[in-house]
């Protein structure tokens, strides 16, 4: 769908998209920090597959390694916010 049909200009969409990426990356990284805190608080039982937390721990850490969750997104975001073309496309 063209931007004209959507009623959104490229100039307007870029900052909105950058804000979305920033919020998403930050939320994923904060969730990982919370999960690590809970993991350490849970003790030795957290590592067993019979513990439902173990699966959630693995799932969240998998998400942080994919697409939106990677720290390298912050570099591209910074470049975009500074008016430069991002060198790494996410």
pLDDT tens per residue, range 6-65: 444 445 556 677 777 778 888 888 998 999 999 999 888 888 989 888 998 988 888 877
For the chain, give every domain's residue range: 12-81
Answer yes or no: is pLDDT of 80 > 90: no
In angstroms, what is the C-alpha Rg of the chain?
A: 18
pLDDT of residue 15: 64
What pLDDT score was predicted for residue 13?
A: 55
Angle at 81 between CA 78 and CA 24, to 5 degrees: 65
What does pTM read for this prediction? 0.60
């Amino acid at each position: 769908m063209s931007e004209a049909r959507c009623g959104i200009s490229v100039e307007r969409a870029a900052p909105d998209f950058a804000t979305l990426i920033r919020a998403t990356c930050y939320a994923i990284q904060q969730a990982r920090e919370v999960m690590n805190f809970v993991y350490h608080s849970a003790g030795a039982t957290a590592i067993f597959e019979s513990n439902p937390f173990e699966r959630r721990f693995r799932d969240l850490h998998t998400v942080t390694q994919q697409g939106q969750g990677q720290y390298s997104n912050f570099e591209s975001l910074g470049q975009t916010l500074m008016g430069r073309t991002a060198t790494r496309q996410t």
